[in-house]
Each structure stands twice: as C-alpha cells, then as structure tokens.
Structure 1
Amino acid sequence: MLKNHLRRDLQWLKRQARRDRRITLALLAGVLAAWGRQLAPWPAPPAESQVLAGLSVGLFAGSALTWLASAYLVTRTIRVRKEPVEDVRRASRVIRSKEWAFWSASAYVAWHLLQFVTALLLG
C-alpha cells in the first residue's frame, strides 16, 4: 500500500515539474523579449538624475542575474534520469528555477515602474 502511494506521489511530482518547467521557459522567453524590446533604443539618462540611473542599472543587472540563474537551473533538468531520487532533485531544481524566473520578471516590472515614475516626475 505504501509503495502505491509513493509511486502516485512521484508521478504527481513529475507532472508538476513538467508543468513548472513550461511556465519557467515561458517566463524566461517573455522577460528576454521584454528587455530586448525595451532596451533596443537605450535612453540616455538625464544628467541630474544619477540616483535614478543607478537604480535603473541595478534593476536591470538584478533581472539579468536572476534570469541567468533561472536559465542555469532549468537547463540542469533537461536530461532524464532513471532513479526516483533524481526525479525529486529535478523537481526541486525546476521549482527553484521558476522562483528565479519570477524574480527576474519582478525586477523588470520594477524597472518599468521606475521609468514611468521618472517620466512623470521629470516630464
């Protein structure tokens, strides 16, 4: 009886990991496309707002670092392994990768809000 429950839970964990990996890949692609669209004509910051320029660069760097961490973790889950312990580790990596992808998207949203508030205050 216990083996059946464990087998069922492991199958559920595998399905959830596949679903989370798809979400992560969509988030990573979306953040990359959004940054590419936003930064194509990089606007020069005004000379009087060095603090805002520093915040903007910091948010961009934070988003880029969390994006790279998420991409690294999700690429470590590509190869399928045969042991159940490896499936649990793989699911853990996918969950962490999804968290990092959401952090990257959050940094992008914060950067976008900073640009909006800066335009309101300086414009």
Structure 2
Amino acid sequence: MLKNHLRRDLQWLKRQAGRERRITLILLTGVLAAWGRQLAPWPAAPTGSQVLLGLSFVLFAGSGLAWLASAYLITRTVRVHKEPVEDLRWVSRITRSKEWAFWSVSAYVAWHLLQFVTALLLD
C-alpha cells in the first residue's frame, strides 16, 4: 500500500514538474524577447549619475546570469531518467530552473523600473 502511495505521489510530482517546465520555457523565451526588443537599438548612456548607470548594468548582468543558470538547469532535464531517484532529481532541477527564471524576470522588471524612474527624475 505504501508503494502505491509513493508511486502516485511520484506521478503527481512528474506532472507538476512538466507544468513547471513549460512555465520556465515560456519565461525564458519571454525574457529573451523582452531584452532583445528593449536593447535592439542599444540605448545611449543616460546623462545621469554613474551610480544609476552602474545599477542599470548590474541589473542587466544579473538578469542575464539568472537566465543562463535557468537555461542550464532546464537543458539538464532533457535526458531520459530510469530510476525514481533520477525522477526526483529531474523534478528538483526543473523547480530550481523555474526559480532562476523568475529571478531573471525580476531583474528585468527592476531594470525597467529603474529606467522609468530615471527618465522621470532627469527630465
């Protein structure tokens, strides 16, 4: 009876991880498209302080690094897993990848807010 419960829980975890994987892939694609659209014609350096420029660069780099970490973890989930322990590692990688994708989105949103506030204050 315990094996049936564990098997059912593992199946639920795998279904949930599949949903999280799709969410992660959508987030990664969205962040990449947003950065591509935002920085297509590279914006001129603001005439404000160097602190704002440095903070802007840190947010941009942080978003990029979080995106790379998430992409790395999600690519490690492509392999076929044979044992239940590997299933749990697979679920764990997807969960961590989703967290990193949300960090990347958060850094993008913070960068966008910084640009907005800077434009308001400098003009």
- What are the ranges of 5 or more consecutive residues in structure 2 without an aligned counterpart? none
**1:13 — aligned with what?**
13
Q: Deviations over 1:34-84 (max 9, x none)?
A: 000000111122344211110111000000000000000000001121101
Q: Deviations over 1:14-33 (max 9, x none)?
A: 00111100000000000000
Q: How well do the aligned residues superpose, as a CA RMSD in angstroms?
A: 0.8
TM-score (norm 1): 0.97
What letter corresponds to residue 46 of structure 2 in structure 1? Answer: P
**2:93 — aligned with what?**
93
**3-state DSSP of counterpart to 1:26:** helix
Report the Cα distance in structure 1 between the residues aligned to 2:109 and 2:2, rounded to whole angstroms. Answer: 46
**3-state DSSP of counterpart to 1:23:** helix
**1:62 — aligned with what?**
62
- The reply on whether 1:44 has 2:44 as its aligned counterpart is yes
**3-state DSSP of counterpart to 2:60:** helix
**1:34 — aligned with what?**
34
Report the Cα distance in structure 1 between the residues aligned to 2:86 and 2:70, rounded to whole angstroms. Answer: 19
- The reply on whether 1:114 has 2:118 as its aligned counterpart is no
- What are the ranges of 5 or more consecutive residues in structure 1 without an aligned counterpart? none
Report the Cα distance in structure 1 between the residues aligned to 2:109 and 2:48, rounded to whole angstroms. Answer: 24
Count the aligned residue pairs: 123
Could you list the runs of 4 or more consecutive aligned residues of structure 1 that deviate by over 6 angstroms after TM superposition? none
**1:53 — aligned with what?**
53
**1:73 — aligned with what?**
73
What letter corresponds to residue 84 of structure 2 in structure 1? Answer: P
What letter corresponds to residue 106 of structure 2 in structure 1? Answer: S
